[in-house]
Structure 1
């Protein structure tokens, strides 16, 4: 079953010009879907549209078969969406443990098991759990941000540029952890500038150009597509 179906999205910010022009994104259960494309293509805007952070002038967003187009971002979290923005995605003056606890704000049950699962997924987060999150390296902050989103027990995890500004080694580690998350049945929708590396782990890839779908295929097929390679992946 298609778990996320965001169809024919058209819209922009406020009363400004449209940034999305009929963009469609779908993600299956437990699938990793990656959005790539040139700067200014509308990648992050498409992600924010799925999360309800801008008003769509056309199109619909369905999650698990339910039309959530009119719901606020907060309401979408309760429906099972988790969103990790590219920046300002942690509370720097709070400890790592407190960041995780803040992620569980919608829950009324015992969160300790989920915290242990995050610690198992990200050992560095466990090691630094009593430190202020603002003292961590860029890669460790990203792990805390992803861990905090996982505390809501999302069905769909959305990541906006999760490897921005981190070293290649840290990028590979983050991608490995993202694969592990998807194997638990959580769907992943990810915007990524490191297009070649992201498509290597993607079940499905979307190449956006000027807010519209230019290419949609499996990650492997997009990597093998000569036109995609020449135009978007540097040959």
Structure 2
């Protein structure tokens, strides 16, 4: 059977001598949304970083569109089509919104960068209004839009988001999730870690519940939402 578009397959590894992930598998298909949820300390962000090449694996492999990229650096993975938005320190606060977006195009050599910026302004209209404002002066939700926009400037085939709605209001969270759905509809695969598990699983094609660095439940978002044990243990009933 062919691999999913992106897969971290049987990943075991961590930081130094301590393994945080234990035979953990995470994957996402083309144009779909996969969500990683679980309790604090479950290894959710570690799994994301492992897929992006930010820690060494002692076991398992990462493959993108059938190609083994396990040994590639994060920078090389960006050139292969992966975009990553970390939870914090994900914008240049002293630069304007537009300068942040331009920085996202650093690997590109084509002449359609301006077109991509306009596409991002269509996706996030508030950024167009504030394009000449320092990104550090924006609200939390607007900063996240800048961070996502900057990652989209590389024209990725996979967009990875670590806690994209952390610290934002419920209204802003809903709006961000709506934009994430729009991005996936363009054919970009979305892999994200999210604390707001219930809301994230509602938009997920596929969900992963991790516990202590290992897969505990894997299913469609809808199926996980309907699973009594998942609801009781991880979604507050």
Q: Which of the five TM-score ranges fits, normalised by the shorter chain?
A: over 0.9
Listed as ranges, the matches of 1:19-38 within 5 Å are 19-38=20-39
Output the TM-score relative to the length of structure 1: 0.99
- The 2-side partners of 1:27 and 1:163 are apart by 20
Which whole-Å deviations, capped at 9, do the CAs of 1:123-159 have from their partners, x for residues lacking one? 0111110000000000000000000000000000000
- The 1-side partners of 2:171 and 2:226 are apart by 24
- The 1-side partners of 2:159 and 2:13 are apart by 22
Which whole-Å deviations, capped at 9, do the CAs of 1:73-119 have from their partners, x for residues lacking one? 00000000000000000000000000000000000112011000000
- The 2-side partners of 1:98 and 1:194 are apart by 31
| Residue 7 (structure 2) aligns with | 5
| Residue 226 (structure 1) aligns with | 228
- The 1-side partners of 2:213 and 2:205 are apart by 21
Number of corresponding residues: 234
Task: List structure 1 segments (4+ residues) > 4 angstroms apart after TM superposition.
Answer: none
- The 2-side partners of 1:166 and 1:153 are apart by 26
Q: Select the residue among 101, 105, 130 that pairs with 1:128.
A: 130
Listed as ranges, the matches of 1:57-206 within 5 Å are 57-110=58-111, 111-206=113-208
Deviation at 1:167, TM superposition (A): 0.1
- The 2-side partners of 1:113 and 1:219 are apart by 34
- Alignment gaps of 5+ in structure 2: none
What SS does structure 2 have at the residue aligned with 1:18?
strand
- The 2-side partners of 1:113 and 1:203 are apart by 29
Deviation at 1:28, TM superposition (A): 0.4
| Residue 46 (structure 2) aligns with | 45
Output the TM-score relative to the length of structure 2: 0.98
What SS does structure 2 have at the residue aligned with 1:19?
strand
- Alignment gaps of 5+ in structure 1: none
Deviation at 1:16, TM superposition (A): 3.0
